[in-house]
Structure formats: C-alpha cells, structure tokens
Amino acid sequence: MRVFVTGATGFIGSAIVAELIDADHEVVGLARSDAGAAALGAVGATPHRGDLGDLESLRSGADAADGVIHCAYIHDFSQMEMAAQTNNRAIETLGAALEGSDRPLVVTSGTALVAPGRLATEADMASGGGHPRVESERIALALASRGVRLSILRPPPSVHGEGDHGFVPVLIDIARTRGVSAYIGEGSNRWPAVHRLDAARLYRLALESVPAGTVLHAVGEEGVPTREIAQVIGQHLDLPVVSIDPDAASDHFGWIGAFFGLDVPASSALTRERTGWEPTQPGLIADLAEGHYFQVAAAA
C-alpha cells in the first residue's frame, strides 16, 4: 500500500514511518524542510514537500495514495484556536481527496479530550471542556458516510520513548530549575501512557484493517498517578519530591500545570478486542527508570 503520512518526521510520525516500511508498505511523508526531506529519504520513505497550511500539497499527497495517516499538528499552546482550525481544514482536504474511494484515513485526536475525571472509552464522544481540537473528531467521523474508511486514533497525554520532547521532558526541566520534583495535590490524578513503538503499530493496524467510523485508543497504561511520575523524576535527579497546592500549580509549573493536574484515565479494552493489539514495550515508569530521559535533559 502507498501510504501518505503527515507529521512523518515527528516523534510519533517517524515511528509510524518505520513501522509501515517494516511491513512492506511504500511511504510518502509530508516534509516541511530540506532536513525533513533528507531524514525521510534516509529511512526509505519518499518526501512530499508541504505543510498543514498548504492544502494543495495535502490534496495531491492524499490523491496519489492508497491510504493516509494524519498525525501532524501544530502544538502551539499560545495559538490553540489557530492550530485547531488548521487541523480541521487539513482533515477536510484529506477526506475530500479520498471521498468515494473506500481508502483508509487515520486521524489523530487524543484521550485527554474525551471524559476528564473518569475512565474514557472508545465509545465516548470527545467533550474536552470546549477545547478547540474536539471539533476535529466530528469533522473526521462525518467522512465515514462519504466513502472514506475513516478511523480516529486517540493517543494518551504521554507518548513516551527515546527522543520524547513532550510533557515528561518539560516536567524534568521544571524539576531541575525549581530544585524539587513536584506533583499537584495528592498526586492521585492519572495520566494514561503508551510507548511510541506500540502506538505506531496500532496506527498500522488501523490503516490496514478497521472499518469506517472506528475509534481506537492507543493506551498502554490506563492511568499512571502523577505522584509516581514525580517520584521517579526526583529519584533520578536526586531531588526532593513535594506536593504543590492546586492554587499554586500555575506558578510552579507554568503552562503545563493545567495539564499535569488533570485526571484523564483511559481504557483501550475495545481497541484490543477489535484489532488484537497488545502493547509490548516498557510502561512509562519503567521507561523513565532506564535513564535516557535524564541524559537528554542534561544535554539540553
């Protein structure tokens, strides 16, 4: 299968590209830069120049493909509305190119948007407390009735592994700067997690086999208490582990405080039943215990 992948040079996307190539698919990856194009070529993928704002590039990439995996997103928390609107237009463009063909389109969302405060399942519709990205799921699911084999894949807040530059490295940097590794309140709120290689395998399974309208959760662990995350960070940095009052979370953690305080457990039971997917990589705490996160942080 010739597969067009957006976000192909990113942390998750690069793992998806490798997973697809290992499964003998031909991969065409969206590349914003010469460096990105070179990185794709080096692993055996074909670069396709463009970005999420270049709708003609997205259309032509999807039009020439047997299937599309869309995992690119503009992660700029200062411009969330703009990022969401750009993503929505990209989904609409990719879907229009595939319309009526029954070709697969896998769209990325997130479990944290679904049901904060309780265990989220694949049967739940995203609510997200008004987060602008929630609309993308509605736009995507509408494509299932237009001859697109549309599936939504929801990764958890922590997709971890070597090369991670998401939430956990930010928490490590904050601990180094503040001199303490902190959690909020009792630290009993839970973050689901998955290793990037396990997530990549689920993207491939979604592309290859799931019916239109399927929602999948790429969740390896339903919920890791944030206190445990803080504890392993403190152990590796030899720093005290402390509780921060919720009212002081934004002062201590900055922008990430609002996310680190969320209780967003999520299940992948239906996903495993539908696809046979079973995570095999280390969990988040075990991955942190390996030490590579702290080598990266020290180098930075």
The answer for residues whose C-beta is within 8 angstroms of residue 75's C-beta and 6 or more apart is 83
pLDDT classification of 297: cutoffs 50, 70, 90? very low
The reported pLDDT for the residue numbered 298 is: 45
Q: Dihedrals φ, ψ of 33, to 5°?
A: -140, 170
The reported pLDDT for the residue numbered 83 is: 87
The reported pLDDT for the residue numbered 243 is: 98
Is the CB of residue 107 less than 8 Å from the CB of residue 73?
no
- What would the pLDDT profile of 115-160 be if each residue is shown by its tens digit? 888 999 999 987 655 566 778 999 999 999 999 999 999 999 999 9
As given in the structure block, the two tokens for residue 148 are 């697109």
On average, the pLDDT of the chain sits at 94
Is the CB of residue 226 less than 8 Å from the CB of residue 264?
no
pLDDT classification of 102: cutoffs 50, 70, 90? very high
The answer for residues whose C-beta is within 8 angstroms of residue 138's C-beta and 6 or more apart is none
Measured CA to CA, the distance from residue 61 to residue 3 in angstroms comes to: 9
The reported pLDDT for the residue numbered 4 is: 98
pLDDT classification of 263: cutoffs 50, 70, 90? very high
Is the CB of residue 157 less than 8 Å from the CB of residue 259?
yes
Residue with more model confidence, 295 or 142: 142
The reported pLDDT for the residue numbered 26 is: 98
Angle 242-115-171 (CA atoms, 0-180°, nearest 5)? 30
As given in the structure block, the two tokens for residue 249 are 């979370």
As given in the structure block, the two tokens for residue 146 are 């237009």
End-to-end CA distance of the chain: 39
Q: What is the pTM of this model?
A: 0.94
Sequence length of the chain is 300
Measured CA to CA, the distance from residue 193 to residue 93 in angstroms comes to: 30
Task: Please say if the pLDDT value at position 296 is more than 60.
Answer: no
| SS3 track for 147-169 | CCEEEEEECCCEEECCCCCCHHH
The reported pLDDT for the residue numbered 41 is: 97
Measured CA to CA, the distance from residue 287 to residue 197 in angstroms comes to: 12
Is the CB of residue 234 less than 8 Å from the CB of residue 169?
no
As given in the structure block, the two tokens for residue 96 are 């229009």
pLDDT classification of 74: cutoffs 50, 70, 90? confident
